[in-house]
Amino acid sequence: MKVLVAVKRVIDYNVKVRVKPDNTGVDLANVKMAMNPFCEIAVEEAVRLKEKGVASEIVVVSIGPKACQEQIRTALALGADRGIHIETDEEVQSLEAAKLLKSVVEKEEPKLVILGKQSIDSDNNQTGQMLAALTGMGQGTFASEVVVEGEKVNVTREVDGGLMTVALNLPAVVTTDLRLNEPRYASLPNIMKAKKKPLDAMTPADLGVELAPRLSTLKVEAPASRQAGVKVADVAELVDKLKNEAKVI
């Protein structure tokens, strides 16, 4: 079966985020970018499904500026077969991303679509569920285990208070949580091979989707910082302060 994986280019998770002095956003100039960590887990899961003989072809798609092709090439080096780049320099919000992915789903007809549960920049946690709703598919969100059995996929989900398993009819959407797998690193020969794998570029207009953002960001600020308090000498002093100064016990 064909698996479609969506990946997003974001600021590298190791980079300390700095808010721009004019409060219009986060400073991305000369900042290291990388594939969103939850998307890496999505690619890894697809590759493992292929290694198990469950998936036959992995198509990876990314939306954004030209530079997104780096992340598509990374996914191809990790084991995806083919890439699709939907190129735009505009801001793409979750609903629009879901509409773009819907048109890719209609063209490619994958049995399974795997996405990260959220991107570490906008932290929305929306696109997978929106895509599932727009395409009329079931969704296994925050997955920690994915088992394909015939025309169904069983997804174990990380929910508040524990784990929950659902069975979804295929085709379905799965969004990944952290403990689904540990992504591998691409080997040098595979990075070289990935350069020759096919990568189609298209625009939102080619897919018949008009970008019309509904949300506008009025300002972005640094969070209020907490001040360091005092050091206490021992446990007795700590308990005394908690009881008599902070009055929280």
Partner 1 sequence: MSILVIAEHDNSELKQATLNVVAAAKAIGGDIDVLVAGENCGAVGEAAAKAEGVNKVLVADNAAYGHFLGENLGELVAEVGKGYSHILAAAGTTGKDFMPRVAALLDVAQVSDIMRVESEDTFVRPIYAGNAIATVKSADSIKVITVRPTAFDPVAGEGGSASVEQLDVVKDAGLSTFVGEELAKSDRPDLGSAGIVVSGGRGMQNGDNFKMLEQVADLMGAAVGASRAAVDAGFVPNDMQVGQTGKIVAPQLYIAVGISGAIQHLAGMSDSKVIVAINKDEEAPIFQVADYGLVADLFEAVPQLEEELKKVL
Q: Which of residues 148-187 bind partner 1 (CB under 8 A)?
A: 154, 157-169, 172, 178-179
Q: Are the CB atoms for 58 and 114 separated by under 8 Å?
A: no
Query: Binding to partner 1 by residue 142, rule CB under 8 A?
Result: yes
Query: Binding to partner 1 by residue 205, rule CB under 8 A?
Result: no
Query: Binding to partner 1 by residue 222, rule CB under 8 A?
Result: yes
Span interacting with partner 1, options 1-9, 59-67, 108-116, 234-242, rule CB under 8 A: 234-242
Structure tokens, 137: 């598919």
Site string for partner 1, 68-107 (x = CB under 8 A): -------------------------xxx--x---------
Instruction: For the chain, give the number of residues.
Output: 249
Structure tokens, 167: 């069975």
| Residue position matching structure tokens 């084991």 | 79
Q: How many residues bind partner 1 (CB under 8 A)?
A: 77
Q: What is the DSSP string of 133-153?
A: HHHT-EEEEEEEEEEEETTEE
Query: Binding to partner 1 by residue 138, rule CB under 8 A?
Result: yes
How many Å apart are CA 228 and CA 199, to the nearest integer? 51
Query: Binding to partner 1 by residue 137, rule CB under 8 A?
Result: yes
State which H helix or E strand residue 87 sits in. strand 82-87
Structure tokens, 170: 């295929």
Query: Binding to partner 1 by residue 24, rule CB under 8 A?
Result: no
Q: Are the CB atoms for 99 and 208 separated by under 8 Å?
A: no
Among 36, 69, 74, 139, binds partner 1 (CB under 8 A): 139
Query: Binding to partner 1 by residue 208, rule CB under 8 A?
Result: no
Among 1, 129, 191, 211, binds partner 1 (CB under 8 A): 129
Q: How far is the CB of 52 from partner 1 (least distance, A)?
A: 20
Query: Binding to partner 1 by residue 242, rule CB under 8 A?
Result: yes
Q: Nearest-CA neighbor of 177 among 193, 160, 189?
A: 160
How many Å apart are CA 58 and CA 129, to the nearest integer? 20
Q: How far is the CB of 62 from partner 1 (least distance, A)?
A: 20
| Bridge partners, residue 87, by sequence | 64
Query: Binding to partner 1 by residue 31, rule CB under 8 A?
Result: no
Q: How far is the CB of 138 from partner 1 (least distance, A)?
A: 3
